[in-house]
Amino acid sequence: MPGRAPVRRRHHRGNPGVRRLRRERACRGERRDDRVTGSATAAPSFEALLDRSGLAWMGQNTTHLEPPPEVIAALAESTSRREFQLYAPALGFERLRELIVGDLGLTGTGSVAMITDGAVGGLYHVCTALASRISRLITTDPGWPWPGRFVGLSGIPVTELPVYAAEQGYRLRASQLAGAIEPGSLIYLIDPLNPLGSSYGRDELTAIAALARETGSLIVHDCTYRHFATGHSLVAELYPEGTITTYSFSKWLGLAGLRVGAVVGPPALMRTLTSVPANPLGASIQAQRAAMAGLEVKGPWLERLRAVNGANQETVCAAVEASGLGQVLVRPSHGNFLAVDVSGSGWTAEALCGAMLDHDVFIRPGSYQSPLFGTRFVKVSTSVPAEWAQRFASAWSAVAGEAPR
Ligand SMILES: Cc1ncc(COP(=O)(O)O)c(C=O)c1O
């Protein structure tokens, strides 16, 4: 995952309107707020961490519970049939595409799903295939850095609007967006928001969608953590013609290493994406079999997953409160993670994560996801065995008794 930050190049393609806009901006002497910031190497070496067998793996928002037996059976069956020797259909199995549209509640709307190598493969494809019609990417800080870096490859500027504030519920206000949006923007809206755990109400999404419609902008609604949220709404229902929804199996089903996900959108937009897929040889068949098996049993699985996630969030919150070190920002979180502010404690997020790692608990500093606020908070993943949450609690209380480094 971590790699080098991309070398930025000028964007030579593009429609005349977008090109004119960039020229005008340059003439006005406007500084492009195109911080393709944050080191891509900030994360620890996952390879080294994998060698530590006793580690409580609470730093990737992935799910570490015993998977549904149906998923394991589907993987075993696919392996025994040696399906790994085959390429898959370019857009994925029809059945999986239907199941995903159904899971989003979009059956009958004409929405088209395209299977990708994880949600991030879909995001890369959207950001590169649609680059010629994007004038600016607008997202949040904190947020998830990769789409900003992807559009940066085409020279498209990025605006990251600050949302690290309790008074705005740790999420984007439509009024902030109104101050930054321009014709042809791409709004990259993460909801629930990794890393803070906030989520948008339908009324807030309606206001954001109205701004997008007025300015001919697109919305990428990153719904990677949707299955953990309470009362989640889809922008696709409010602005169907201009919204692409991302879908991930990494978090709710725990298939992160299999790399399977999807993007879903209206036929007109999807035509551009499906005509030249980023991976025309198709996402792994084994991964798709596991994904279909998971969707078939999602009811009981989600019930269990959400119960464990909720209980672990309680454990983590109680440990933070009792320790006097830090403060959970959004509680309950709509994701499978909690953000804990440690500013004013004498610890930086990085040093604290290092100290937790000494206790065999892997959590991540905010610096990976926030140029502005990243040293202030750490993120703790909670869809893990209850025993790991207990280990987090003991380690946190031990670290709280240590002198900050
Ligand atoms: C906001 C967000 N979008 C996309 C992804 C990538 O998901 P996937 O594993 O399906 O590629 C992540 C993973 O951490 C994420 O946090």
Chain segment 144-191, per-residue pLDDT in tens:
999 999 999 999 999 999 999 999 999 999 999 999 999 999 999 999
**Paired tokens of 212:** 């997008």
CA-CA distance, 174 to 71, in Å (whole number)? 40
Closest C-alpha to 142, from 385, 392, 379: 379
CA-CA distance, 362 to 364, in Å (whole number)? 7
**What does the pLDDT average to over 92-116?**
98
Contact 233, 192 (CB under 8 A): no
CA-CA distance, 267 to 269, in Å (whole number)? 6
Ligand 1 pocket, 120 CB below 6 A? yes
Q: What is the DSSP letter of 401?
A: T
Least confident window among 27-36, 53-62, 197-206, 396-405: 27-36
> What is the model's pLDDT at position 34?
37
CA-CA distance, 248 to 252, in Å (whole number)? 8
Reported residue count of the chain is 405
What is the 60 CA–ligand 1 centroid distance (Å)? 10
CA-CA distance, 380 to 366, in Å (whole number)? 10
Ligand 1 pocket, 147 CB below 6 A? no
Which residue is it, tokens 């908070």? 377
What is the 188 CA–ligand 1 centroid distance (Å)? 13
> What is the model's pLDDT at position 22?
43
Ligand 1 pocket, 157 CB below 6 A? no
**Paired tokens of 53:** 């067998």
Ligand 1 pocket, 63 CB below 6 A? no
What is the 20 CA–ligand 1 centroid distance (Å)? 33
CA-CA distance, 348 to 394, in Å (whole number)? 20
Least confident window among 238-242, 287-291, 401-405: 401-405
- Looking at residue 242, its amino acid is G
CA-CA distance, 122 to 215, in Å (whole number)? 24
Residue 185: burial class (beta carbons within 10 Å; 0-12, 13-18, 19+): buried
Contacts of 79 (CB under 8 A, 6+ apart): 286
Q: How confident is the model at residue 45 (pLDDT cuts 50, 70, 90)?
A: confident
**Paired tokens of 228:** 């953990």
What is the 120 CA–ligand 1 centroid distance (Å)? 6
User: Would you say residue 290 has pLDDT above 50?
Assistant: yes
What is the 73 CA–ligand 1 centroid distance (Å)? 25
What is the 17 CA–ligand 1 centroid distance (Å)? 32
Q: Which helix (H) or strand (E) holds 219?
A: strand 218-222
- Looking at residue 292, its amino acid is M
CA-CA distance, 405 to 392, in Å (whole number)? 19
Q: 42-51, long-range: CB within 8 Å, 24+ apart, which pairs? A: 42/2, 42/365, 42/367, 42/368, 43/1, 43/2, 43/364, 43/368, 44/357, 44/362, 45/2, 46/1, 46/2, 49/362
> What is the model's pLDDT at position 195?
98
**What does the pLDDT average to over 255-260?**
98
Domains in the chain, CATH or no CATH each = 16-25+71-298 (3.40.640.10), 46-67+299-400 (3.90.1150.10)
Ligand 1 pocket, 222 CB below 6 A? yes
* For the CA of 256, the nearest atom of ligand 1: 9
* For the CA of 190, the nearest atom of ligand 1: 1
Backbone angles phi, psi at 146, to 5 degrees: -70, -45
Closest C-alpha to 227, from 305, 113, 329: 305
> What is the model's pLDDT at position 43?
55
CA-CA distance, 331 to 42, in Å (whole number)? 27
Ligand 1 pocket, 196 CB below 6 A? no
Q: Write the Ramachandran bin of 11: left for phi over 0, alpha for psi from -120 to 50, otherwise beta.
A: beta
What is the 261 CA–ligand 1 centroid distance (Å)? 9
* For the CA of 62, the nearest atom of ligand 1: 14
**What does the pLDDT average to over 279-296?**
98
Average pLDDT, the chain: 91
Closest C-alpha to 115, from 89, 78, 147: 89
CA-CA distance, 253 to 291, in Å (whole number)? 8
CA-CA distance, 227 to 107, in Å (whole number)? 18
* For the CA of 61, the nearest atom of ligand 1: 14
Express as a percent the part of the chain with pLDDT over 70.
89
What is the 190 CA–ligand 1 centroid distance (Å)? 10
User: Would you say residue 7 has pLDDT above 70?
Assistant: no
CA-CA distance, 196 to 340, in Å (whole number)? 9
Q: How confident is the model at residue 405 (pLDDT cuts 50, 70, 90)?
A: confident
**What does the pLDDT average to over 323-350?**
97
User: Would you say residue 72 has pLDDT above 50?
Assistant: yes
CA-CA distance, 286 to 74, in Å (whole number)? 8
> What is the model's pLDDT at position 44?
67
Q: What is the DSSP letter of 339?
A: E
Contacts of 162 (CB under 8 A, 6+ apart): 140, 141, 372, 373
349 or 47, greater pLDDT: 349
Contact 239, 212 (CB under 8 A): yes
Express as a percent the part of the chain with pLDDT over 90.
87
Ligand 1 pocket, 382 CB below 6 A? no
Backbone angles phi, psi at 93, to 5 degrees: -65, 135
Q: Parallel, antiparallel, or unpaired: how do β-strands 377-381 and 327-328 relate?
A: unpaired
Nearest-5° Cα angle at 27, 23 to 28:
120
pLDDT tens-place string over residues 16-39: 444 444 444 433 333 333 333 334
Ligand 1 pocket, 124 CB below 6 A? no
Contact 338, 318 (CB under 8 A): no
